[in-house]
Amino acid sequence: MRMRPTLSWTPGEDLPPGTTDLRPVAEALRAGGVLVLSGAGISTESGIPDYRGEGGSLSRHTPMTYQEFVADAQARRRYWARSHLGWRTFGRARPNAGHRAVAAYGRHGLLSGVITQNVDGLHQAAGSQDVVELHGSLERVVCLSCGALSPRRDLARRLEEANAGFAPVAAGINPDGDADLTDEQVGDFQVVPCARCGGVLKPDVVFFGEAVPPRRVEHCRELVREATSLLVLGSSLTVMSGLRFVRQAAEAGKQVLIVNRDPTRGDRYAAARVALPLGAALTTVAEVLGISGP
């Protein structure tokens, strides 16, 4: 039986309320040295749903865990069928106003860095530089045997050749690029091995149940230490991979600001949570700072 990962969090009654006042965000950016930490919520306006917001994918979809992927060939077949179909849609997503605003902040020297929990590459597509992909990227594939990295587009071509005519209609797409398909729709989908050694291929992303590489975590901790303040965008901070950086910033006396419509697990550490849609909020801040435009 496939078990649901422990991914939920219930807000407590003692959390501070959200605000619609964007002045603290504008003031922090004007001072410079802001480190951005983004989550799935910044990509929803690009057509990629989040995990936990209203209508989030966890209400209908259990993400693949690392343990299941490694141990079960049928689970890998299901994953790659769903991911292959989702890749076609996922790859067509384009940066939205929120991504473009973050890129504009960076171009004007207001940011010390960007850490994203997303695997969609939309920050880079919008023009942000030196983005740390905390959970990896769907643009790459890694072999679990020889460690070789290869472009996802090469795997997509090989899967197309091995599964000619595979075009079921998915019920939806998820933040990890996984399309909603039934087992009947997956059918006898053919998984291809590593072209170098014949080993098992995995997207170069951190699955649920898998640890973020320690060197990447330490790099992010160093970015927090160097930053003046931390700006969280579109993350519920339910899992520790992102929450630990909020805690680190708060413990170091750095200002934490959050822009997220729903309460987050990091609200108690924040000076304020702005409960507004991200695209419009970040665009408004850019205009206030006089840096509007692509």
Domain boundaries, the chain: 20-48+95-135+212-294, 55-92+138-205
Tens digit of pLDDT for each residue in 220-231? 999 999 999 999
- Residue 121 annotated as lining a ligand binding site: no
For residue 1, pLDDT over 80 is answered with no
- In the annotation, is 108 catalytic? no
59 is in an annotated binding site: yes
Q: Is it the case that residue 5 has pLDDT exceeding 60?
A: no
Question: Which residue among the candidates 61, 84, 123, 135 is catalytic per the annotation?
Answer: 135
Mean pLDDT score of the chain, rounded to an integer?
89
Reply yes or no on domain 20-48+95-135+212-294 having CATH 3.40.50.720. no
* Rounded (5°) CA angle 45-248-219: 75
As to burial, measured by CB atoms within 10 angstroms (0-12 exposed, 13-18 middle, 19+ buried), residue 97 is buried
Instruction: Look at residue 56 and tell me whether its pLDDT is greater than 50.
Output: no
Calculate helix-pair angle for 278-288, 97-107, nearest 10 degrees.
30
Q: Is 53 annotated as a binding residue?
A: yes
Q: Average pLDDT, stretch 232-239?
A: 94
**For 109-168, what is each residue's pLDDT tens digit?**
999 999 999 999 999 999 999 999 999 999 999 999 999 999 999 999 999 999 998 888
20-48+95-135+212-294 shares its CATH topology with 55-92+138-205: no
The first and second tokens of residue 167, run together, are 């075009």
Q: What is the pTM of this model?
A: 0.89
Q: Evaluate whether the domain defined by 55-92+138-205 bears CATH number 3.30.1600.
A: yes
